[in-house]
Structure 1
Amino acid sequence: MKQRAPLTLAAVTAALAALTGVAALTAPAPAGGASDGKAAASARMPVERSLLVCPGPSSSDIAETTYTSFTPGAAAGEGKGSARLLGATKDAKPVLEPKEPGKPVGATANGADAPALTGSADGVLAPGWTAQLTTKVSVGRARGVLGVGCTAPGTDFWFPAVSTAKGREDYLHLTNPDDAAAIVDITLFGPDGMAKADAGTGENIRVDAKSTKTVLLSSLLPATQLADATAHVTTRAGRVGASVQVAEENVGADWLPASTDPTGSLVLPGIPADATSVRLVAFVPGEEDADLKLRLAGPGGSISPAGSEQLHVKAGMTAVMDLKDLTRGEPGSLVLTPTDAKKAAPLVAAVRVVRGSGAKQELGFIPATRPVGARATVADNRPEENTTLLSLTAPSAEAKVKVTASPGTGGGEPASQEVTVKAGTTQTLTLAPAGGKGSYALTVETLSGGPVHAARTLSLPNDGITMFTVQGFSDDHSTVSVPKAAQDLSVLTR
């Protein structure tokens, strides 16, 4: 057998040069034309795949549900992509199957059989892919308009403002989009700290692959009633989509989405002008108490609610503040900031909002939201007058945003508007596509300044009741940072 001659450094360098010649010819030159061997700065590139999970809409036989899916951007002249939302069961058929960006698609379902959905989008349909379900139940215990955005699956969720009290039915919906089972734990925290659940009832909850499971939160604490609590949902294995559906006797029903991750300052945008009751629920998951300043950012600026200027939240305990008629006839957003910026304890929060009175009440929830960032979308809006109201809040610095209304699922021409939001204010507007029919999407893009928080209120009155739901916007993370690679043959000499 012949022995192979050892490769010399020169031979290795020549071989690599041959392999990388094309790259060398096509690679962009570094800034200034110099070639220093260092990797170029990272670039923002569109995501190639997005995942969404939607909970099952309703257990009511008279429920009327609308599903809407939308990817922002121009209609696809170049590039390909696909997207499908299908029932969260094995071998399910697609419920929504959009074909191109810039055009929303919708579907409807009636009754209690409308399924939870899971799905994915790739190619040109992936960046910013958004979906929502909106359900209207005209009568009964769970009557109301219930709206919720579909979310990416995750492993950790916080739900302030849940309840296990008599007259409330709070169902946690867990949907597993993956091919392996997920294992979930649920912990409840009341005003005195962690609530002791019956042995094992909140632990090791199995959610089978491609399936959904609902858990009545009061069943975890049969001997204890918590009027206001915080639920912490985590997974030991796998990941899930998680949302809480709330029905309150003689008041109404809606979805409670998860709060943004714990942080020291929070914004809860889009409290309706005619809110008759606003109740703040906050929780600090760490070991340090939180002392907060409360401000209402309205059209003319920020004010401190009389008698409710500050809130102390003990670590590990749920705190509640009844803000009553906080808005006093003007729409606004609640801004929570630490009284001492050097002692900012991360927290989560949500508000329970009631419109109307007596037998004509309706219920909604607004959790703390992330800023809209570069771009954010809410998919299901309606063109009828006084139905859709967008709220934009700049808590700390003036900002300029662009708002775009897509065509409707039944046609129409898109419309856009630039809006300047002064620091410490909430600006509201209505925008719909020209000649739009069916559901349409609203997209908010930050042009300068910021940060900006946004929410959309959808009002669908029924029999004298101002039925409504509020959905927050958050950055759609349609791009990711991708490092730019460059040749560096000097590694061969190191």
Structure 2
Amino acid sequence: MNRSTLSLAGAVVALAVLTGAASMTGGDDSHAATAGSSSRLPVQRSTLLCPEPSTSEFADTTYTSFTPTGSGTSGGKATLVPATTKPTALKPLTSTGKPVTSSTDKSDSPALIGTADGAVAPGWSVSQTTVVSDGPGRGLLGTSCVAPDSEFWFPGASTQDGRQDYVHLVNPDDTPAVVDIDLYSKDGQLKGSTGDGITVPAKSSKPVLLSTLIADKVQDLTVHVVARSGRVGAAVQATDNAAGTDWLSAAAQPAGDLVMPGIPADATDVRLITYVPGSDDADLTLKLATPSGSITPAGNETLHVKSGMTTSVDLGDLTRGDAGSLIIGSSSSHDPVPVVAGLRITRGKGSDQEIAFLPATAPIDRQASIADNRSKGSTLALTATGKDVSVKITSSAGSTAGTSVSKTVTVKAGTTVSTAPPQPSGLKGAYAVTVQRLSGGQLYASRMLALPMDGVPMFTIQPMPDDQGLVEVPQAADDLRVLEP
């Protein structure tokens, strides 16, 4: 066979592959997309990673797995397995629109590696909720299990006396991951850190106590986790001996405009922690989006943040009885300086106080879900910027029984709507909440779960960024020019 024959044969195979790909994505010859165009299609596989929940003997942890009804194909399953050699697995999710739950009270419960495919992959979410009823870690810890990535920012960690903060790293892959943990205080990057080149073995987890990386006792730290090789899931577990415990979820990537949606109406103290990763200082404006409009916090209208340094400010009882959201902007209209930011929020006082953390949150482009909601205690915070936003809130069927219910609300630009999700009729068990952006400006959301115990206002807040259930997929059209020699 000569070279021209081989080229022709190769071109025919290439044409068959292109045509087959178009057919698999639902296209046909009569409706082929033009070359270079793309469409948004449901993801076919998702991976989520859950950190080790708690080493306390007084801890009870619930895992709730959920996929909203809508964009998937058919079939498929979502499973969570320990990031160890143990063969046990949690209850699988096999259908959309209804959550499944599993629980454990073991103090050595491992991190989990989750995978979903088929119809349950698009928008799949897992909530990990832990109640520690006694001891120094007393409190409510909540986190949404995260997709693996190569970079995470955590403003709000600490190594001060009375705090024990761990960075939990989970590696879902068959090869080791190598991770650097950099710590930044008000004086810049802390020297003497031993957080470089941490190896996380394949399909395993590693908790790293921050106080073992540095000798400094620092109230406010920004933690930067970077994977040199491989990918990991990361979260920070913060325990305050006097004020409770919770997870720090990763903050949205550095940007000039940031939103932290969902400061509770009864917050007794709010502390803002910011960091500038670039080479320029940032001059920021602060606004509170309340139910009636945006206001400027008295005495905290602006904030100057030096490059490479963590800057924090105590905003006190910022909300003063009305739930709100903190909006950070740039004082400069030209080339705003990207920052990362998060809030430490306190409810209650004295020995009856509890803390939670709320990072700057990415907006919802299409929809987001939070899997674990109870018959009482769930509150949604919705914030709109730019323009009014029309939002559909859907509460799923219960994990044991119940019927899904929806309602639509309008969030005025520059305001925050704080509302309980609609209650599924005949609810038994946990239910999931899905927030859909129907039209309008940018939408930001979070969910607070409050489970008071013995006079302590235990609570946790989970940000709700877009679920990334749809992805841009390039489409190919038949092009006979590939047959030209």
* TM-score of Structure 1 vs Structure 2, range by shorter chain: over 0.9
Q: In the alignment, is residue 169 of structure 1 matched against residue 164 of structure 2?
A: yes
State the identity as a percent. 49
Distance change >3 Å, CA 475–CA 10, structure 1 → 2? closer
Contact 2:126 2:371 in 1 (8 A): yes
Q: In the alignment, is residue 395 of structure 1 matched against residue 385 of structure 2?
A: yes
Q: In the alignment, is residue 327 of structure 1 matched against residue 319 of structure 2?
A: yes
Aligned to 1:312: 304
Displacement after TM superposition at 1:14 (Å): 9.8
Distance change >3 Å, CA 304–CA 16, structure 1 → 2? closer
Contact 1:82 1:121 in 2 (8 A): yes
Distance change >3 Å, CA 362–CA 128, structure 1 → 2? same
| C-alpha distance in 2 between matches for 1:18 and 1:238 | 34
Contact 1:252 1:361 in 2 (8 A): yes
Aligned to 2:49: 53
| C-alpha distance in 2 between matches for 1:87 and 1:8 | 50
Secondary structure of the 2:103 match is strand
Unaligned runs of 5+ in 1: 32-37
Bigger Rg, structure 1 or 2: 1
Displacement after TM superposition at 1:197 (Å): 2.5
| 1:292-441 alignment, distance < 5 Å | 292-384=284-376, 387-431=377-421, 432-441=423-432
Secondary structure of the 2:126 match is strand
Distance change >3 Å, CA 19–CA 197, structure 1 → 2? closer
Residue 88 of structure 1 is aligned with which of 83, 105, 109? Answer: 83
Residue 65 of structure 2 is aligned with which of 52, 55, 69? Answer: 69
Q: Residue type matched to 1:51 in 2?
A: T
Aligned to 1:122: 117
Displacement after TM superposition at 1:44 (Å): 1.0
Residue 211 of structure 1 is aligned with which of 200, 204, 224? Answer: 204
Distance change >3 Å, CA 209–CA 14, structure 1 → 2? closer
Residue 29 of structure 2 is aligned with which of 21, 24, 27? Answer: 27
Aligned to 2:152: 157
Contact 1:75 1:101 in 2 (8 A): no
Q: In the alignment, is residue 272 of structure 1 matched against residue 272 of structure 2?
A: no
Residue 239 of structure 1 is aligned with which of 231, 253, 265? Answer: 231
Q: Residue type matched to 2:29 in 1?
A: A
Alignment length, in residue pairs? 480
Secondary structure of the 1:124 match is helix
| C-alpha distance in 2 between matches for 1:390 and 1:377 | 11
Displacement after TM superposition at 1:236 (Å): 1.4
Contact 1:75 1:100 in 2 (8 A): no
Distance change >3 Å, CA 13–CA 83, structure 1 → 2? closer
| C-alpha distance in 1 between matches for 2:441 and 2:227 | 34
Q: TM-score scaled by structure 2?
A: 0.94
| C-alpha distance in 2 between matches for 1:171 and 1:491 | 55
Q: CA RMSD in A?
A: 2.5
Q: TM-score scaled by structure 1?
A: 0.92
Residue 274 of structure 2 is aligned with which of 276, 282, 288? Answer: 282
Secondary structure of the 1:72 match is coil
| 1:172-251 alignment, distance < 5 Å | 172-198=167-193, 201-222=194-215, 224-251=216-243
Residue 472 of structure 1 is aligned with which of 448, 459, 463? Answer: 463
Distance change >3 Å, CA 203–CA 75, structure 1 → 2? closer
Secondary structure of the 1:359 match is helix
Distance change >3 Å, CA 93–CA 273, structure 1 → 2? same
Secondary structure of the 1:322 match is strand
Distance change >3 Å, CA 4–CA 43, structure 1 → 2? closer
Displacement after TM superposition at 1:92 (Å): 3.0
Secondary structure of the 1:396 match is strand
| C-alpha distance in 2 between matches for 1:56 and 1:330 | 35
Q: Residue type matched to 2:120 in 1?
A: L
Displacement after TM superposition at 1:488 (Å): 1.4
Higher alpha-carbon deviation: 171-180 or 83-92: 83-92
| C-alpha distance in 2 between matches for 1:45 and 1:118 | 25
Secondary structure of the 1:148 match is strand
| C-alpha distance in 1 between matches for 2:177 and 2:434 | 33
| C-alpha distance in 1 between matches for 2:163 and 2:212 | 12
